[in-house]
A and B are shown apart, each in its own frame.
Chain A
Amino acid sequence: MRLLHPPTAPLDELVDAARRGEGRAFEELVRRTSAETFTLARRLVSDEDDARDVVQEAYLRAFRSIGSFRGEAQFTTWLYRITANCASTHLGRRRRHRHDELDEEAELVDPALEHDPEAATDAALLRQRLELAVAELPPRLRAVVVLRDIYDLSHAEVAEQLGISESAAKVRLHRARRRLRAQVFPLAGERPEAAEVEVEEHAHAS
């Protein structure tokens, strides 16, 4: 039996079919993109259960609005934007319920990897350290740096999806990068924790 949309069908074909209202094509799109969507959601909300909720909501919104997708951007970029928007809404909802948890200072989770320049030069270990450091960022800083530096959304797109101004998005981006840099590559005499406190003081002052 020939499958209507085999797993080898090009993504563009599936997108076109889904836009015409073919449910099976959208299902195949879900199968193809779910790992990437889940990874983005997990990076944004840092909790597996929350990430699942974000993914479900993102695909539901995408399903409802696939007809209006005009293909100016890649389908995956369009889906990233929807996922980011869902994550932002989700975080906003949680922020109202658990205000104190979202901006609290997180502790380092992997002290064994600290101050080890040899390990840091290894690309795989560097990525591992970086993922940990990203996960430890406060959500409002994390969202901006993940969308801009990992998923390459423009400053304007990041600002739009998070409901903030472009200049605010840039300020958050620079703070997040500074914090990641201090965490992953602490300079001589620099303690990551000290840099974080300094960054937070700046953040609260502005």
Chain B
Amino acid sequence: MRPERGRGRAAVDEPPCAGLAERLAGVVDDSAALDRSERRHVERCLRCQAELAQHRKLLRAMRSLRATTLATPDGLVVDVLAQLEASGERRAVRAALTGRRAAYLGGIAAAATAAGAGAAIVLVSRGRRGRLPLAG
């Protein structure tokens, strides 16, 4: 149940420090906000102020960690490059196979088209020959 609000009840209204702890962690980068009563509490509470100051310090320290890099373990770059090369080769083989398959299918299609065209010519010429005696 929420505490009763009203004048002269500041002590009852004010949230306990523990309830604010997670939001204080978000206040430092505006990913969380405090309502008016919570802000009032923090303005009066040395513990919450100290916690907020520590969160700011912590965030600065975290950001500074980005400049800190670990040494790459022995052989890692070589392994990565070998894997990339293998992957590149696989891709090239796949592309070549795909190209060959396309050429093969294209050849079949061309042959079929040519055969069809040849058959059509034969049929047309036979038709003409067949009609000739009746033409006159």
A residues whose Cβ falls under 8 Å from a Cβ of B: 23, 26-27, 30-31, 34-36, 38-39, 42, 48, 52, 55-56, 59-60, 63-64, 123, 126-127, 130-131, 134, 145, 149-152, 155, 170-171, 173-175, 177-178, 180-181, 184-185, 187, 198, 202
Interface of B is mostly: helix
List the count of A-B residue pairs having beta carbons below 8 Å apart: 118
B71 CB-CB contact with A under 8 Å: yes
The 3 closest A-B pairs by CB, nearest first: A177-B25, A149-B62, A185-B54
Given contacts A60-B84, A185-B57, contact A175 B22 (CB under 8 A): yes
**Stretch in B4-12, B72-80, B111-119 touching the partner:** B72-80
Interface of A is mostly: helix
B1 CB-CB contact with A under 8 Å: no
| 30 A–B pairs (Cβ distance < 8 Å), ordered by A | A23-B84, A23-B85, A34-B77, A35-B69, A36-B69, A38-B73, A42-B70, A52-B79, A60-B83, A60-B84, A60-B87, A127-B61, A127-B64, A149-B62, A149-B63, A152-B66, A170-B26, A171-B22, A173-B31, A174-B22, A174-B23, A174-B31, A175-B25, A177-B25, A177-B26, A177-B55, A178-B21, A181-B25, A184-B61, A185-B54
